[in-house]
Amino acid sequence: MPVIVVANPKGGVGKSTLSTQVAGCLAAAGHAVMLGDADRQQSARQWLALRQAITPPPPAIRGWDLEDGEIVRPPKGTTHVVLDTPAGLHGKRLDAVMRIADRMLIPLQPSLFDIQATHAFVRTLREHRRGGDVKLGLVGMRVREHTRANEQLHQYLATLPVPVVAWLRDTQNYVQLAAHGLTLWDVAPSRVERDLAQWAPLVDWLKR
């Protein structure tokens, strides 16, 4: 059962957005997906509650609960797990995540603070005792083409020993879909054609 973790110690980089979209992508492909939320804000869990109220229901995504700070097991029949993690992930919490992770997506936005936090986080992951066992991928979030910040982000990420698996543009599509418990794969493809094209390399990375 693949476990895909979405993590970055900095808050506000788009972890919940990326987590819910990855879960939606996998569910649309016919997998039995569980979206776990280890973040105190419980954004992904709140999104799940919205999704479960939709009629007719979109492809099912199940959740798990937290008991005494420990994550319970995924529901029976789960084939894929997506885990949304909190800001400040380090120490024992990071160790716990690394023990179960098969792949880790690291989202960041075009800002100096995101770049600094991600640089240190990547170094920590590569030095971790399971660093060689977890496949890492970077995702540029809220990217605005033809801006200096975007150019600087591209230049910086090219220096890291971790591949960039997708560049996702700054669009209200993600905001509007999240507000209704939906993902790119739950609406007409023509409505989100440009975004689906940007997701294509990430989807291939998940399949490999």
Strands 135-143 and 164-169: parallel
Asked if 134 and 98 count as a contact pair (C-beta separation under 8 A), the reply is yes
pLDDT band at 146 (very low <50, low <70, confident <90, very high): confident
- For 135, the token pair is 């496949």
**With 90 as the cut, is the pLDDT of residue 14 above it?**
yes
Give per-residue pLDDT as tens, 32-89. 999 988 766 678 889 999 999 999 999 999 997 555 556 567 888 999 999 999 888 8
Residue 197's pLDDT is what?
Answer: 98
Q: List the domain boundaries for the chain.
A: 3-207
The pTM (predicted TM-score) of the whole model is 0.93
pLDDT band at 203 (very low <50, low <70, confident <90, very high): very high
Residue 156's pLDDT is what?
Answer: 86
Give per-residue pLDDT as tens, 88-142. 888 998 999 999 999 999 999 988 888 888 999 999 999 999 989 999 999 999 9
Residue 131's pLDDT is what?
Answer: 87
Residue 67's pLDDT is what?
Answer: 58
Residue 112's pLDDT is what?
Answer: 84
Residue 5 φ/ψ, nearest 5 degrees? -100, 135
Q: How much is the average pLDDT of 156-185? A: 95
SS3 annotation, 164-192: EEEEEECCHHHHHHHCCCCCHHHCCHHHH
Residue 70's pLDDT is what?
Answer: 60
The residue among 178 and 90 whose pLDDT is bigger is: 178
Q: How far is CA 169 from CA 80, 111, 114, 126, 178, in A?
A: 26, 14, 16, 28, 16
Residue 152's pLDDT is what?
Answer: 86
Class of the CATH domain delimited by 3-207: alpha beta
Asked if 44 and 51 count as a contact pair (C-beta separation under 8 A), the reply is no
Residue 5's pLDDT is what?
Answer: 97
User: In terms of Cα–Cα distance, which of 72, 74, 102, 81 is closest to 31?
Assistant: 81
Residue 43's pLDDT is what?
Answer: 82
